[in-house]
Structures are given as C-alpha cells and as structure tokens.
C-alpha cells in the first residue's frame, strides 16, 4: 500500500533534487560517455578483427543496460511530483512518453545489429550518438521551460543529423544528412524566434506560470503572442514533418541507414510531438483560439497529401516515409482535440505507431539486402512463401499501420476519432477516416505481392536474421495484436498519465485551480494504489 | 594585505607564464601557457571590479581565440616534435591532481544546496540593486548555476555530442 506521503516531491531547491528529477537522462548520458571512453581506451590495442567485434558487442550491451536502467529510473519517477511551474516536469505524462521513447530506442538498437554487421558500420559512435539523441528526446518531453525544451531539441537533432550521415561512403547517406541538417537548422531558427517572441509577450520562458499574462494577451489581441505561437508551430511542424513542412522527409528518410530512419520516424517525431502537445494544450491552453486554426489545417493537409503521394511510390522505404508523414497528421488530430482524452489518445497512438513503424522498417531493410539495393514493391513478390515468418511480421505491421482490426493501430485510430468527435472536430474525424481508406491501397499492395504473386526465379533470398532481431520482431507483432484485442490496460495507463496534465489545463483556465488540482491528486492516489499489488 | 598578495600572485604568474610561453619549442604548449597568462590577467581585472572584462577576456581570448590557434597549429600539422614540452616529468601527477580536485568540486556541487529557486534575472530597479550587490557577473551566474543548472548540464552534453559527431563525419577514413 502506498500512502500519499510516499509521493516523492521534487522542489528543485538543491542541485541534488535537480539531478534526481533528470535521473533517466543522467543515466543515459553516463552510458554514452562510457561507450566513448571504452572506445578510446580499447582502440589503441590490437586492431585485429576479433578485438573489433568484441568491442562492438560490449558497446551494444552498454547501450542496452543503459536503456534498461533509464527505464527503471523512469518508473521510479512515476510516483514523484513537482510543481507545474517547475523547470522539469515530473508527472505521468512525462513518464509515459519516456517509456515509449526508451522502448522504441531499445527496439532500434536491437534491429540495428544485423544492419551494422551487414553494412560494415564499425563506428562505436553509433551507439553513443543514439544514446545522446535519446537524452535529447527525454529532455524534450520533460521540459517545462522553453529554454530547456530548446536545448533538448537541439541535442536530439544534432545527434540524429550525424547518425543520418554515418555511412560516409554512401553518397545518399551524406546527402540525406546534409539536407536534414540544413532544414533542421532552419526549423530551429523558427522555433527559437518563436520562443523569443513568446518571452516578449509573457515576460517568461515558463509558460505554465504565465497563464494570466497569456489570457491578457489573448483578450487584448496581442500580435506578439500570435506571432510567437505561429513561429513555434512552424518550428515543431518541421520536426514532426507536417505538411507543408515535410519536403525534407522522403529524401532524408530514404538516404539514412534504415535503423536510423526508424529512429527518426519514431523517436524524433514522438518526442517533438509530446513536447508540442504539452506546450500547446497545457501551457498555452488559454490561447487555444490562436493555435487551433493552424493546427487544424496542418492536420488536414498532413493527412491528405502524403497519403496521395504514397500511392505512387515504388520504393518501399520511400513509401513508408510518406506513410510516416501521414501518421503525423493523425497524431495532430489528437492535438486539435486539446483535451485529456486527446492527449491520452495521442499517447496510445504514439506507442502503437512506434512499435509498428520500427518493425516494418526492420523487415524492409532485411528484404532490401546489402546496400539497400532491392527495396522496391516488386521485390516482395512471393515473400510470404519463401520467408513465412518474416512476411507474417510485415503483414501484422502493415495491417496495424493501415488500421485494420484486431491491431493496436486500429484501436489507436478509433481512440483518436473518439477524442476528435468529443471535441467537435468533425471535419478532422471525417478526413481521418477517408485518408485511412486511401492508405489501405498502398499498404495492401505489398501484402498482395507477398502472398498472391509468385517469386521470380532470380529473386535474392534475404539473409538470415540473428536471434535478437527475431525476438524483437515477434515481440513487437504480438504486442500489436494484444494491444488490438485487449487495449484496456494500456488505455487506462494513458488516461492516468494525462490526469494531472488535465488538471493543470483547467487550472490555467478557471479560477477554481486549487480545487481541480486537489481533485486530480485525489483521483491519482487510488489509481496509484491499484497499480501496486 | 590580501589585495597586495593577490596582485603579486597574478602578476608573477602572468610574467612567468609569458616567459615560459616564448621559450617553448612546441607551439601547442606555447599556446597553453598563453592561456595561463590570460587567466592571470583576468584575475587582475577581477580585482579592479571589471567583472565583465574579466569574463570576456577568459571566454573570448582564453577560450575561443586560443582554440582557434590550436586548430590552426593542428591543421598545419605542427607540434608533433618536442613532445617533452607537453608532458613534463610530473605531467601525469599534476593532471591527476587537477582531475581529482575538479571531481571533488563536482561532488560538492552535487550534494550542495543550490541558490534560492526563484533566482531569475531581475529587471528594472531590482536589476540595478542586484548589480550593485553581486556585480554584473553574479546577476547572470546565480540563475545559471542555480535555477537553470540542469539546462547548463544538458548544454554540456549537447556540445559533447556535437564534437563527437563532427569528428566522426570529418575524420579520415580508417581502413
């Protein structure tokens, strides 16, 4: 039994309290630094082949242990709390986002193994940069101050720019990295200018503490606030690749090493998305009338256009890149709903999206073969009979991406629809349904090729995968099915996670701030008790 | 008394480091002793209550420009000879002692109390009062190392990731 007094309160009065509030991030940073140090001290020895492989597997283990430890640290944070206007958020929303990001990163690390071996990528910095990017993502979802948010976003972005270009002898990888870097720097400039204008409008970078100033600005029609919010949305739209700020996405996603593409499509997008969700619907909840219009348009365009373009793609990696852009549109519906239900639906969808996207990218790099040469729809002919298990995995991931029952993708979409309808966003709900129907075509085309076309005689057999890869794929597929049949537990968890955030949103709007917050805490306590057996 | 001692300490350090600098054969170690000169002169600026100039002297000259010098030296591929200039007989000992000292400072910081939570940069009249009391550096430094301490830490990780990434992308291919 857990008592109310056991709730860990982070008051940030001491440096120790600040360190502990960022414990998962600290653990991951230490893991990344130990990989770098391990590399520095082991490289000078014997450069023979065996040594190299041993070092790589130690790096792999360090990464996995680091992520596992950060996972535990996040769970430990889940019964903590902090003031809503503190620098760092300690609440269920952050912990839920942390768990999604850490789980996604662990999957990426596991599926990277085969790829790194096949493409002969020996840089030990791969794992270190992946962890640094993960630190940036966790900081991004934990930040309640726009300064910390910006630093986290940059840490994430810079590490991923480098990861994109890590295959230096492949011009496509370098091109993708350069494009991503230039567009990313451009987006950061928008974001930081937006932050500066918001500071000008409210006098603080901590928006949660500025609800009265925001309300006054909205009432007075302050142009500074409107411009700040607009630039902020543009900066985030680049990061989550929302139309019309998505032009870099297909090239960057196609050129990057495929596990990194999976990481970009899930981790980077999820982290930026959670931050956007918190900034807009909680911190700027009082300025909804300013941002709701742009967000609705972004959502509608992002659902329609990429789904149309994906229909014409022959390269499966590029097709999935457009599919990932389209999913940003579905997620934006959750932002537009701007309710606790919308936030919970977004969290659930992000979790499902992370699993199914990483899984499908993992399988397509296996099918594409060395150097990613054969990644076209035609290469999938007869895969269902040649490699039944691999094809079965891809089938489940694609069905989930398309939103077929009984997969988590279906439940996620249903849940987003419910949030949209509850918030009276009927146009968005209709667009979501119609564009999902369009998307069926290009997902099912691959399924058709796998099972109803025979393999050509000269087809190249995809290489055999290592056990860890098979476990990861099988686990992901089973998780998607279970999430589709019995979503209750995950949905409850997501709703618990946003309960506190919802109380804050109310607090920023109404005078009875204290009452609703106390109510939320009282609700929180029994739900915390039910979690501990 | 204390004032005189500090001045003589900084002055002596500056002159000594300057002499060592011009007598080094290795350009890398010459640059590093020039950094020591900058530290000493910054100390003297501090004693003159010129906090801003002291900080800028350190950040711009001691930090940015000297790093640029080091880069140029490394680009010209100098500094591989005369390596005894770089690692003196007690190099390891001194380096170890400095490292342990810094670790101790960090450990103290870890458990120590951060300054009051509400220490953000004041504005208007309050800024003038705070400047008179803490000096212009204190007004910036207190929030930076108190309220925004973790932001500073994350920025450190950011710079490390940027350095690792730059080296990774720019290094020569090793077979």
A155 CB near a chain B CB, below 8 Å?
Answer: yes
Residue that is last in its domain, among B57, B85, B113: B85
CA distance A206 to A145: 5
Interface test with A, best of B119, B150, B152, B166 (most A CBs within 10 A): B150
Per-residue pLDDT, B84? 61
Q: Per the domain annotation, does A80 fall within a domain?
A: yes
pLDDT digits (tens, 9 = 90+) for A13-32: 777 788 888 999 999 999 99
pLDDT > 70 fraction of chain A, expressed in percent and rounded: 90
Burial class (CB in 10 A: 0-12, 13-18, 19+), B124: exposed
A495 versus B19: the higher-pLDDT residue is B19
- My answer on whether B3 and B81 are in the same domain is yes
How large is the average pLDDT for residues A244-261? 91
Residue B108 has pLDDT above 60, yes or no: yes
CB spacing of A12 vs B147 below 8 angstroms: yes
Residue A519 has pLDDT above 50, yes or no: no
Residue A263 has pLDDT above 90, yes or no: yes
- My answer on whether B14 and B70 are in the same domain is yes
User: A121 is in which domain, residue-wise?
Assistant: 23-531
3-state helix, strand, coil in chain B (%, to 5): 80, 0, 20
Q: Per the domain annotation, does A2 fall within a domain?
A: no
C-alpha to C-alpha distances, A380 to A323, A356, A394, A463, B85, nearest whole angstrom: 18, 18, 11, 14, 64
Question: In which residue are the tokens 């019309």 written?
Answer: A244
Per-residue pLDDT, A179? 93
Per-residue pLDDT, A43? 64
A278 versus A50: the higher-pLDDT residue is A278
Per-residue pLDDT, A72? 94
Q: Per the domain annotation, does A7 fall within a domain?
A: no
Enter the pTM of the model. Answer: 0.85
Residue B123 DSSP class: -
Per-residue pLDDT, A514? 36
Per-residue pLDDT, B129? 78
Q: Give one DSSP letter per residue of A390-414, joined into a string.
A: HHHHHHHHHHHHHT-TTSHHHHHHH
Q: Per the domain annotation, does A10 fall within a domain?
A: no
CB spacing of B165 vs A158 below 8 angstroms: yes
Under the banding of pLDDT at 50, 70 and 90, the label for residue A505 is very low
B159 CB near a chain A CB, below 8 Å?
Answer: no
User: B46 is in which domain, residue-wise?
Assistant: 1-85
**Strand, helix or coil for residue A80:** strand
Tell me the two tokens of residue A235.
């900066």
Q: Per the domain annotation, does A304 fall within a domain?
A: yes
Per-residue pLDDT, A521? 40
- My answer on whether B65 and B130 are in the same domain is no
- My answer on whether B39 and B66 are in the same domain is yes
- Count of domains forming chain B: 2
pLDDT digits (tens, 9 = 90+) for A435-459: 999 999 999 999 998 898 887 776 6
Distance from CA of A132 to the nearest CA of B (A): 6
Under the banding of pLDDT at 50, 70 and 90, the label for residue A178 is very high
- Count of domains forming chain A: 1
CB spacing of A19 vs B110 below 8 angstroms: yes
Strand partners, A376: A315
A526 versus A120: the higher-pLDDT residue is A120
Q: Per the domain annotation, does A9 fall within a domain?
A: no
Tell me the two tokens of residue A19.
């360190």
Using a CB-CB cut-off of 8 Å, the residues of chain A touching B160 are 33, 132
- My answer on whether B76 and B127 are in the same domain is no
pLDDT digits (tens, 9 = 90+) for A373-413: 778 888 888 888 888 888 999 999 999 999 988 899 999 99
- My answer on whether B133 and B78 are in the same domain is no
A153 versus A498: the higher-pLDDT residue is A153
Q: Per the domain annotation, does B134 fall within a domain?
A: yes
Under the banding of pLDDT at 50, 70 and 90, the label for residue B112 is low
Interface confidence, given as ipTM, is 0.86
Q: Per the domain annotation, does B95 fall within a domain?
A: no
CATH number at residue B80: 1.20.120.1200
How large is the average pLDDT for residues A169-188? 91
With CA atoms as reference, the chain A residue closest to B117 would be: A13
CA distance A108 to A131: 11
Residue A113 has pLDDT above 70, yes or no: yes
CB spacing of B111 vs A15 below 8 angstroms: yes
CB spacing of A147 vs B151 below 8 angstroms: yes
Residue that is last in its domain, among B85, B112, B144: B85
pLDDT digits (tens, 9 = 90+) for B23-82: 988 888 888 899 999 999 999 998 888 888 898 899 888 888 888 888 888 778 776 666
Using a CB-CB cut-off of 8 Å, the residues of chain B touching A11 are 117
- My answer on whether B74 and B108 are in the same domain is no
CA distance A353 to A230: 27
**pLDDT averaged over chain A?**
85
Q: Per the domain annotation, does A18 fall within a domain?
A: no
Per-residue pLDDT, A118? 86
Residue A148 has its nearest CB partner, among B151, B157, B168, at B151
Under the banding of pLDDT at 50, 70 and 90, the label for residue B175 is very low
Q: Per the domain annotation, does B129 fall within a domain?
A: yes
Give the strand pairing for A8-10 and A80-82.
parallel
How large is the average pLDDT for residues A245-265? 92
A169 CB near a chain B CB, below 8 Å?
Answer: yes
Q: Per the domain annotation, does A8 fall within a domain?
A: no
């Amino acid at each position: 039994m857990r008592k109310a007094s056991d709730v860990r309160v982070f008051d940030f009065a001491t440096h120790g309290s600040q360190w502990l509030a960022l414990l998962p991030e600290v653990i991951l940073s230490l893991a990344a630094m130990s990989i770098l140090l391990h590399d520095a001290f082991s490289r000078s020895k014997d450069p023979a082949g065996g040594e190299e492989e041993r070092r790589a597997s130690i790096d792999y283990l360090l990464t996995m242990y680091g992520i596992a430890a950060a996972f535990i640290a996040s769970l430990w944070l889940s019964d903590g709390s902090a003031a809503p206007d503190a620098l760092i958020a300690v609440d269920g929303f952050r912990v839920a986002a942390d768990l999604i990001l850490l789980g996604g990163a662990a999957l990426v690390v596991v599926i990277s193994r085969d790829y790194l071996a096949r493409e002969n990528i020996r840089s030990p910095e791969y794992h270190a940069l992946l962890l640094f990017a993960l630190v940036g993502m966790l900081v991004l979802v934990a930040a309640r101050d726009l300064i910390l948010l910006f630093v986290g976003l940059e840490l994430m972005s810079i590490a991923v720019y480098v990861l994109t270009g890590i295959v230096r002898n492949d011009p496509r990888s370098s091109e993708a990295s350069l494009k991503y870097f230039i567009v990313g720097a451009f987006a950061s400039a928008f974001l930081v200018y937006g932050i500066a204008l918001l500071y000008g409008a409210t006098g603080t970078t901590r928006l949660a503490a500025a609800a009265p100033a925001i309300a006054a600005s909205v009432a007075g029609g302050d142009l500074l606030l409107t411009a700040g919010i607009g630039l902020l949305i543009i900066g985030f739209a680049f990061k989550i690749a929302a139309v019309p700020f998505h032009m870099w996405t297909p090239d960057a996603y196609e050129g990057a090493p495929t596990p990194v593409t999976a990481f970009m499509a899930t981790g980077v997008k999820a982290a930026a998305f959670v931050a956007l969700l918190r900034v807009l619907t909680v911190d700027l909840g009082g300025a909804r009338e300013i941002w709701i219009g742009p967000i609705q348009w972004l959502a509608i365009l992002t659902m329609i256009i990429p789904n149309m373009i994906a229909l014409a793609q022959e390269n499966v990696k590029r097709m999935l890149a457009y599919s990932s852009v389209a999913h940003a549109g579905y997620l934006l519906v959750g932002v537009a709903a701007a309710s606790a239900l919308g936030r919970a639906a977004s969290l659930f969808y992000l979790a499902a999206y992370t699993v199914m996207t990483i899984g499908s990218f993992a399988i397509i790099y296996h099918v594409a073969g060395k150097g990613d040469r054969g990644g076209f729809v035609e290469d999938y002919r007869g895969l269902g009979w040649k490699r039944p298990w691999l094809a079965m995995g891809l089938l489940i991931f694609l069905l989930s991406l398309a939103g077929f029952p009984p997969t988590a993708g279906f439940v996620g979409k249903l849940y987003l629809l419910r949030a949209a309808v509850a918030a009276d966003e009927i146009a968005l709900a209709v667009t979501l349904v119609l564009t999902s129907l369009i998307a069926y075509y290009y997902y099912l085309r691959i399924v058709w090729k796998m099972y109803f076309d025979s393999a050509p005689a000269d087809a190249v057999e995809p290489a055999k995968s290592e056990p860890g890869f098979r476990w990861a794929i099988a686990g992901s597929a089973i998780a998607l099915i279970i999430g589709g049949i019995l979503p209750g537990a995950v949905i409850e968890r997501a709703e618990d996670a946003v309960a506190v955030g919802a109380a804050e949103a109310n607090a920023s709007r109404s005078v009875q701030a204290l009452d609703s917050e106390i109510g939320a805490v009282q609700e929180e306590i029994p739900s915390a008790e039910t979690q501990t057996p | 008394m204390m004032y005189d001692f500090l001045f003589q300490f900084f002055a002596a350090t500056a002159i000594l480091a300057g002499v060592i600098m011009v007598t080094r054969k290795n350009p890398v170690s010459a640059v590093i002793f020039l950094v020591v000169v900058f530290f000493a002169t910054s100390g003297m600026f501090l004693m003159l209550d010129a906090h801003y100039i002291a900080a800028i002297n350190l950040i711009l000259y001691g930090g940015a420009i000297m790093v640029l010098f080091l880069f140029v030296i490394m680009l010209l591929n100098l500094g591989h000879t005369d390596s005894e200039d770089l690692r003196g007989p007690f190099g390891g000992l001194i380096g170890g002692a400095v490292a342990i000292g810094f670790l101790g400072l960090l450990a103290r910081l870890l458990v120590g109390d951060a300054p009051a939570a509400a220490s953000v940069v004041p504005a208007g009249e309050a800024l003038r009062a705070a400047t008179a009391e803490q000096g212009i550096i204190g007004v910036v430094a207190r929030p930076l190392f108190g309220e925004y301490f973790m932001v500073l830490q994350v920025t450190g990780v950011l710079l490390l990731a940027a350095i690792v990434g730059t080296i990774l992308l720019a290094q020569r291919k090793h077979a």
